[in-house]
Structures are given as C-alpha cells and as structure tokens.
C-alpha cells in the first residue's frame, strides 16, 4: 500500500513565520474503518488527527501528544494520539443520532486538553474550554491563551481524507520583538494569504504546489516530507500490565464468570485473550520462592 500520508514543514523567509502541512489518507481511513462512525464524527476525528499531526511536528520532543475533548453532548469523548515520529491513533465515543449536528452541538459543554507525554521527563497538560465553533478555532484560542503564540490552524476533511495547514510565529520572534508592528503586519499578511486555501486544494495538491499558490511572492523554505502512519501502541505486554493493576481477585472473578479474560483495544480492535493459566502467570513473578536449605547459592 503506497503511503500518501505526509507531514511537511516550511518557513516563510523574512516573515518570522513557520508552517506545517499535512495530508492524511490511509491513516484516516484505517481509523474510521475500525468503528461504524457517523459522517459527522468521521469529520471531527479527521480534523483532530490532522491537528495532532501538525502540532506534534511543531514541538521538539520525543514522546506522544494527546488531544482530547470530553463532551456532555452526543459525543462523550474524542481522543487522538500522535507520536513525535508521526504514528497516529484515534477514537470517538458517542451515543445517539449526530445527523447534521455541528461540532459544538455534538460535544455540548466541553473541555479540550492537550497532553504531552515525553519518553523521558514530566508530563505536561493544558486544558481549555471548547469555546470555538470548530476545532481549529478552539486550538487557535488555546495557543493564544496558554502558549502566547500566534497560531493559525486550518483543518479540512472530505473524500476519505483529512489535512491541515498551520502557521505560527517563530518562537524566537515572539520573544525578541525587534519591531512588533512590522511583525504584526507580516503575520496579518501571510495569514490572510493562507486563508484563501480551499478544502479542494488542501485535500488534492502536494505541499509545494499549495505553498506556491498561496505565497508565490515569498521565499519559502520547504523541508523534506515525513511519512505519517496509523499505528496503535497497544501490545500483549501492555495489556497484561493493565490487567495486573485490576488485581488477582478481580481477574479470578472474571475467569469464574466467563472462563477467560477478553480485552479488545478500543483504538485498533486488536483482541487479547487470556485463560486461567495466563492469569496465574501474571502474578507468579511477584511470588518469592524460598531457596532450598542446601542450595549452592546460599
Ligand atoms: Zn491497539
């Protein structure tokens, strides 16, 4: 299967603005094929996947970023996780009819959290109320308020694809402020050019063509494209660790009732099944076996 899922970084020279573009094809299709999502939920999942890919690429870290919305409406949960090397997984939980519902109506009173979990180091979480009319507005507010970084995020989906374009003031520029007026003018200029981007263009053209259409009077430095893939981080070992947390008593009662412990990963539908022998082995390592009296190890 050819991979059309790409993320690509660029800098608009002299404007103090950096950018990131992404287009998700098979990774998006893999996510929506796992569950029978209504179209409205497919749309926000796709946009959230594109957003996570764009935002992860702007950070220098090794680990994973999770964007999560918990809602009080028909949709109770939307979660997208993206690793620094562009491995994506996503899930939504809903209950009820979403036909023709808007983003706000589906989620109701809701908060949006962005969690960064580095491989080494402390977790960082920012939470904001979902107060925009769409996901990109919410994320722009988040960056304005929490990170003090001017950010424009455009997200699109359609034709079984999702994608997005992000522009952000380079952090060095927001700190130095050599001429705030000039920087603001530059920001206004490039973001108004970027706003002419259509879903049709974003979902069908490559990054270089899009950048030429939007910024043909600028010098744009385009970096190498990087592949994005759907990949779930679940494993038998991680499932065992989660089950051990439940405790032997709980697992024994599941075994007594069902004859097995059957766990399905909510992200990828992978099934992990354990019988009574497996469960007994989970707890064996923690049993201290006394050494025999005359062991040479004594
Ligand atoms: Zn999984």
Report CA(259)–ligand 1 centroid distance (Å). 23
Report CA(271)–ligand 1 centroid distance (Å). 8
Taking the chain (298 residues) in runs of 10, the rounded mean pLDDT of each run is 81 91 96 92 96 92 93 92 95 93 88 92 88 88 82 95 95 62 90 97 96 95 95 91 93 96 90 94 66 45
* 3-state secondary structure (DSSP) of residue 256: helix
Report CA(232)–ligand 1 centroid distance (Å). 5
The pLDDT score that the predictor gives to residue 2 is 46
The pLDDT score that the predictor gives to residue 179 is 78
The pLDDT score that the predictor gives to residue 295 is 43
Residue 206 burial (10 A CB sphere; 0-12, 13-18, 19+): middle
Report CA(92)–ligand 1 centroid distance (Å). 14
Domain ranges of the chain: 6-230, 236-282
Report CA(268)–ligand 1 centroid distance (Å). 4
DSSP strand E in the chain: where?
Answer: 6-12, 17-24, 63-70, 75-83, 87-94, 111-118, 124-129, 151-158, 161-169, 220-222, 226-227, 229-230, 261-264, 271-274
Q: What is the greatest pairwise CA distance in the chain?
A: 85
The environment of the single-atom ion ligand 1, i.e. residues with CB closer than 5 A, is 232, 234, 265, 267-268, 270
The pLDDT score that the predictor gives to residue 122 is 92
Domains 6-230 and 236-282 in one fold? no
Report CA(95)–ligand 1 centroid distance (Å). 22
Q: Which fold has domain 236-282?
A: CBS domain Like (3.90.1280)
Report CA(90)–ligand 1 centroid distance (Å). 10
Kind of pairing, strands 75-83 and 87-94? Answer: antiparallel
CATH architecture of 6-230: 3-Layer(bab) Sandwich (3.55)
Report CA(80)–ligand 1 centroid distance (Å). 13
Report CA(66)–ligand 1 centroid distance (Å). 15
Buried b vs exposed e over 135-148: b needs ≥16 C-beta within 10 Å? bbebbbbbbeeeee
Query: 164 has which bridge partners?
Result: 22, 155
């Amino acid at each position: 299967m050819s991979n059309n899922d790409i993320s690509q970084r660029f800098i608009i020279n002299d404007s103090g603005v950096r950018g990131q573009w992404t287009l998700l094809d098979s990774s998006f299709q893999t996510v929506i094929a796992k569950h029978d999502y209504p179209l409205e939920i497919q749309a926000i999942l796709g946009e959230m996947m594109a957003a996570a890919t764009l935002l992860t690429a702007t950070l220098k870290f090794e680990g994973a970023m999770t964007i999560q919305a918990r809602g009080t409406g028909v949709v109770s949960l939307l979660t997208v996780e993206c690793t620094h090397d562009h491995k994506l997984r996503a899930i939504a939980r809903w209950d009820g009819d979403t036909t023709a519902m808007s983003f706000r109506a589906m989620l109701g009173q809701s908060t949006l959290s962005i969690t960064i979990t580095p491989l080494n180091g402390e977790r960082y979480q920012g939470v904001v109320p979902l107060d925009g009319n769409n996901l990109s507005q919410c994320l722009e507010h988040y960056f304005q308020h929490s990170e003090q970084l001017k950010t424009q995020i455009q997200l699109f989906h359609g034709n079984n694809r999702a994608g997005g374009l992000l522009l952000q003031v380079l952090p060095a520029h927001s700190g130095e402020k050599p001429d705030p007026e000039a920087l603001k003018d530059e920001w206004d200029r490039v973001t108004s050019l970027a706003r002419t981007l259509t879903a049709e263009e974003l979902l069908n053209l490559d990054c270089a063509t899009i950048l030429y259409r939007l910024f043909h009077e600028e010098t744009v430095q385009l970096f190498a494209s990087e592949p994005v893939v759907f990949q779930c981080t679940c494993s038998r070992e991680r499932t065992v660790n989660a089950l051990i947390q439940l405790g032997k008593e709980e697992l024994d009662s599941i075994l007594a009732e069902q004859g097995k412990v059957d766990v399905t990963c909510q992200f990828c539908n992978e099934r992990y099944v354990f019988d009574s022998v497996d469960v007994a082995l989970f707890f064996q390592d923690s049993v201290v076996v006394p050494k025999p009296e005359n062991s040479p190890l004594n």
